[in-house]
Amino acid sequence: MKGDYQELVDEISTLLGAPATLENRDFGLIAFGAHDSDSFFDETALDPVRTRSILTRKSTPAVRAWFEGFGITRATGPVRIPAAPDAGVLRDRICLPVRHRGVVLGYVWLLDAEPGPTHEQLTAAMEVATRIGGLLADEERAGADLSRELRASLTAERGWQYDMALAALRTALGPDAEGLHALVCVAPWPNEDGPSSRTVPSAAALCTVPWGGPGGAVSAKSGGREGADAHAGGDEPAGPTAAPRALAALIRLRSADNLAPATAAANQLRDAAGPKAVAGVADPRRGLPSLDTAWREAGAAARAATAQPSLGPLARWAAIGPYRLLTGLPAAEPDPAVRALLGPAHGELARTAEVFLDHAGQAGRTAAALGIHRQTLYYRLSRVEQLTGLDLDAGEDRLLLHMALKAAKL
């Protein structure tokens, strides 16, 4: 990238017949054109301001304020700045603002001398400055921390707040916002902050959000106000009493048929989170309008992986079967018919009933899966019927019991 800047600065130097200097919008030096050592060297070409910029790769706040006083932050074309010996500026200068989509990202500086560059030369140089602006924007976007924008989009309620958060995220992502993505949820996440997106291949943005875990909400939109209230007032301090967190990762995809970048990122982040962490991957989507739906899917898949180890430790929304329905239900107390069965004293009976229903009520397969005799199975199932008052030969009773047992794990 730096080589690209140097080539473009040299191109401007050649166009205007004078050495150019490129600085970012904070006046940090990026690249500068070489002076011609074969010609007469004018010592004023390296006045104190220019010398400091090249040697220390930055300018002082006072110098920055002085130059900005000429309107360079708002300018869309070349700005001529007169010499000011008292300020250490011994030569007139020309500033070419480097902009991208209307935002100033840097400046190209040249020394001005009679007769100076022509209008055509300056127009050609501004075209090069526009190309530099594109490079700076790409680099800024690639290194940007978009955690704030992503977190706001995932925790805002549907309405104007969600629309504003999504607009901010779309602006921050630039062209990536309209691309194909998959959202990943890794939970629980052990730290207050997430890793840099630059450390995760294909990651467009990462952030931490409140996580309710089993029985709780992933965000403000997926289970009441728990997530929003836990997050109100900023991030909580890390520690034993800190609210549980999940990590959200927005992963770029090349094809909707290939989720490999998302699963690779999920596995990398899950490994970083520790042995108890699980990951959920939402269905791929193009653009951001359904980001809240994608987050519910990713969180639901992670909750399903926690509740049903056979689905995890990494689960895709498309593969969690009945948990797509169960994770969408609001949190509620267990049905009165099964409340006693779900108590700690009857864990073995509850497991027996769940395995029996998982095997479609086939006694032989159930007994084999549990490693018990059929008579033992029949005895346990009769005890389940006595505790619940349900008839395991009735389809609706089976459905109620099966859903209650699965939901209890969430």
Give residue 298's pLDDT band: very low, low, confident or very high (50, 70, 90). Answer: very high
Same domain for 52 and 88, yes or no, is yes
What residues pair up with 279 in beta bridges, in sequence order?
186, 314
Q: For the CA atoms of 390, 396, 401, 407, what is the dihedral angle to 10 degrees?
A: -150
Residue 183 shares a structural domain with residue 322: yes
Nearest 5°: phi and psi at 384? -60, -45
Check whether residue 288 and residue 347 sit in a common domain. Answer: no
Considering the domain architecture, whether residues 348 and 302 belong to the same structural domain is answered as no
Write down the pLDDT at residue 57.
52
Question: Is pLDDT of 225 > 60?
Answer: no
Asked whether residue 27 falls in the same domain as residue 113, the answer is yes
> What is the spatial distance between Cα 152 and Cα 248, in angstroms, rounded to a whole number?
12
Q: In the prediction, which pLDDT does 211 show?
A: 86
- Flag whether pLDDT at 214 surpasses 70: no
- Return the percentage of the chain with pLDDT > 90, whole number: 36
Task: Give the CATH number of the domain where residue 356 resides.
Answer: 1.10.10.2840
Specify the number of domains making up the chain.
3
Give tens-digit pLDDT for 191-210: 888 888 878 888 889 999 99
Q: Is residue 396 part of a domain?
A: yes
Final residue of a domain: which of 108, 136, 164?
136
Of the candidate ranges 32-36, 175-179, 235-239, 312-316, the one whose mean pLDDT is the lowest: 235-239
Q: Summarize the confidence of residues 185-191 as an average pLDDT.
A: 93
Give the tens place of pLDDT for each residue, 236-276.
444 444 678 999 999 999 899 999 999 999 999 999 999 99
Same domain? For 278 and 399 the reply is no
Three-class SS of residue 212? coil
Q: Which of 388, 379, 382 is nearest to 342 (CA)?
A: 388
Share of the chain above pLDDT 70, in %: 84
Please, what is the end-to-end C-alpha distance for the chain in angstroms?
48
User: What are the beta bridge partners of residue 248?
Assistant: 185, 207
Q: Are residues 63 and 195 in the same domain?
A: no
Band of residue 216 on the pLDDT scale cut at 50, 70, 90: very low
User: 303: which residues sit within 8 A by CB, 6+ positions away?
Assistant: 213, 214, 218, 280, 323, 327, 410
Q: Is 155 within a domain?
A: no
Do 350 and 319 reside in the same domain of the chain?
Answer: no
Lowest-confidence segment of 180-189, 240-249, 272-281 by average pLDDT:
240-249
Q: How far apart are CA 385 and CA 296, in angstroms?
A: 35
3 lies in the same domain as 28:
yes
pLDDT (tens digit per residue) in 324-339: 888 777 777 778 888 8
Averaged pLDDT for residues 109-126: 90
Burial of 185 (0-12, 13-18, 19+ CB in 10 A): buried
Question: How far apart (Å, rounded) are the C-alpha atoms in residues 213 and 244?
Answer: 8
| DSSP code string of 348-410 | HHHHHHHHHHHTTT-HHHHHHHHT--HHHHHHHHHHHHHHH---TTSHHHHHHHHHHHHHHT-
Residue 48 within any structural domain of the chain: yes
Residue 276 included in any domain: yes
End-of-domain residue from the set 269, 291, 326: 326
Q: What is the pLDDT of residue 240?
A: 45
How far, in Å, CA of 312 to CA of 306, rounded? 7
Q: Between these two residues, 143 and 17, which has the higher pLDDT value?
A: 17
Q: Is 49 helix (H, G, I), strand (E, B) or coil?
A: helix
On whether both 321 and 192 belong to a single domain, the answer is yes
Is 150 within the bounds of a domain? no
* pLDDT score for 200: 86
* Contact in structure between 129 and 96 (CB atoms under 8 Å): yes
**117, part of any domain:** yes
Residue 192 lies in a domain: yes
Average pLDDT score over residue span 139-145:
64
Predicted confidence (pLDDT) at residue 218 exceeds the cutoff of 60: no
Exposed/middle/buried for 80, CB within 10 Å: 0-12, 13-18, 19+?
A: exposed
Q: Domain range spanning residue 390?
A: 339-408
Identify the domain boundary among 297, 326, 355: 326
CA dist., res. 51 & res. 59, Å (int): 10
Q: Does residue 136 register a pLDDT over 90?
A: no
Q: Which residue has the higher pLDDT, 52 or 151?
A: 151
Among residues 16, 86, 93, which one has the least CA distance to residue 50? 93
Does residue 161 lie within any of the structural domains? no
* Pair (193, 314) in one structural domain: yes
Q: Across residues 355-373, what is the average pLDDT? A: 88
How confident is the model at residue 215, as a pLDDT?
42
Find the CATH number of the domain harbouring 90: 3.30.450.40
Q: What is the mean pLDDT of residues 359-375?
A: 90
> What does the mean pLDDT of the chain come to?
82
Are residues 316 and 290 part of one domain? yes
Tell me the per-residue pLDDT of 26-77, one tens digit each, with 9 for 90 and over: 888 888 776 554 444 455 455 555 555 544 556 678 788 888 999 999 999 9
